[in-house]
Structure 1
């Protein structure tokens, strides 16, 4: 190892040690907690342009650009390979500076592209949860934040921030969720006039219960479904509390997880919530004039809440051949299944989705 490489290695080790010690003692060295001057979202708005919320199509991931009166906020940026896609989209929208960047939680399909974004634009404030992660991608993001001499603001439920003539309030995370990264997701309610939007990353039912219990308003016209429409999120109680007219689902076409799940789509249909999906419509833009929300260029059709073959397969129960060594599962007649060694071969009756949640991947040949 050269002297230069060794120096870089020890610098990374020192940075990781400092961050872990800071998380245990002070809540994170170099991070600041913003409490917000007011614990309630103000409704007084200045005159100006409409509020626009862009749900950017980043495949199987999340990214949303919010703009009001020439001020911009970005929430997540998809996987690392989507970073340039997000940068190009922001530049096409006239973004020169980002007032806020929110990295909802450390999963790669949310923060993967943020390093590219932060290198491309001046950023005034970064909001991320107090949850360290050990992936190189997360470490690179922290390195970039340090290089840009930025500080991380911890999300405090109830804190309110202004974005031009709009404002947003932090809804969560409410407590320490251990290694359950999804529930660490930063949740916000965005307000402009009488319209509201709720976006909560990948928050699952446990975090939703905490948000319902913390006394903050969840009512919104538009709900960005958490965890890409997974059945692990968007409980019936949470949907009823938010009571949205519209739902937006950010997910990849024919994704391996069966997102959005059939149960979630049925829950939306039962409540007459109109749904838009990036896997069907690409990037989706919602526009609020302060009194009503519209989706220019989008048509709401029955297929927005229909079940694709991928969704059906995700919920089907049947026999799958699993390889305990490679952590892949196959259809019984798959040629690759026949070649699995007896010691590693098992027959499973779990659903496709249950196998994925157990850490198995579908075979790319037979596509179970």
Structure 2
């Protein structure tokens, strides 16, 4: 993320406000400060954004949340015409259930798989409500956590949800004109 802040001309950074002693977090905050990026705390009560017809809604965390760090992930749904993308952060089963309780219409075309495909995420109820046409898993090659968990991959397969993985395909680009979805990869 620090690389993105350094190289892509970022103007604003929205996050859930949680701090960390993690090196990656520290480097990100330093890059944001160095590049004069405005930091804005967002949660489910944040007013949606509309940027040139692209709507961005913040669905999580709930205001005054007492969830643990993973389940307090900032979740955003990006919509353009008839296409939508759900970015789920590191939520696990508890966060998925809370999200479903607060959002009746959670259906989306593209799902960024929760918590990198860990065993603690991607519950049947969540996937049945979201009904994605494509699921993208963001994870490192040979990551030490063993993500994605084989049980989770099997769940997506059983539900006939195609999966694209960054550890296998490299960088993934997903584009839409508001109706059609096009994916490309780069390694």
Provide the residue aligned with 2:66 in structure 1: 176
CA gap 1:276/1:133 in 2 versus in 1, 3 angstroms: same
CA gap 1:130/1:296 in 2 versus in 1, 3 angstroms: closer
Provide the residue aligned with 1:40 in structure 2: none
1:187: Cα distance to partner?
0.7
Provide the residue aligned with 1:238 in structure 2: 126
Give yes or no for the alignment of 1:267 onto 2:155: yes
Provide the residue aligned with 2:86 in structure 1: 198
CA gap 1:251/1:146 in 2 versus in 1, 3 angstroms: closer
1:192: Cα distance to partner?
1.0
CA gap 1:245/1:119 in 2 versus in 1, 3 angstroms: closer
Distance in 2, Cα, partners of 1:148 & 1:255: 30
1:119: Cα distance to partner?
3.3
Provide the residue aligned with 2:49 in structure 1: 161
Give yes or no for the alignment of 1:294 onto 2:182: yes
Q: Deviations over 1:12-43 (max 9, x none)?
A: xxxxxxxxxxxxxxxxxxxxxxxxxxxxxxxx
Q: Deviations over 1:195-249 (max 9, x none)?
A: 1111111111111111111136311111110111111111111111111111111
Distance in 2, Cα, partners of 1:160 & 1:125: 15
Distance in 2, Cα, partners of 1:190 & 1:129: 17
Distance in 2, Cα, partners of 1:280 & 1:125: 31
| Structure 2: stretches of 5+ with no match in the other structure | none
Kept in 1, the 8 Å contact 2:92–2:120? The answer is yes
Kept in 2, the 8 Å contact 1:221–1:246? The answer is yes
Pairing partner for 1:254 from 107, 124, 142: 142
TM-score, with length taken from structure 1: 0.46
| Structure 1: stretches of 5+ with no match in the other structure | 1-76, 78-113, 299-368
Kept in 2, the 8 Å contact 1:171–1:216? The answer is no
Aligned length: 183
1:144: Cα distance to partner?
4.1
Which is strand-richer, 1 or 2?
2
TM-score, with length taken from structure 2: 0.86
Give yes or no for the alignment of 1:218 onto 2:85: no
Provide the residue aligned with 2:25 in structure 1: 138
Kept in 1, the 8 Å contact 2:11–2:38? The answer is no
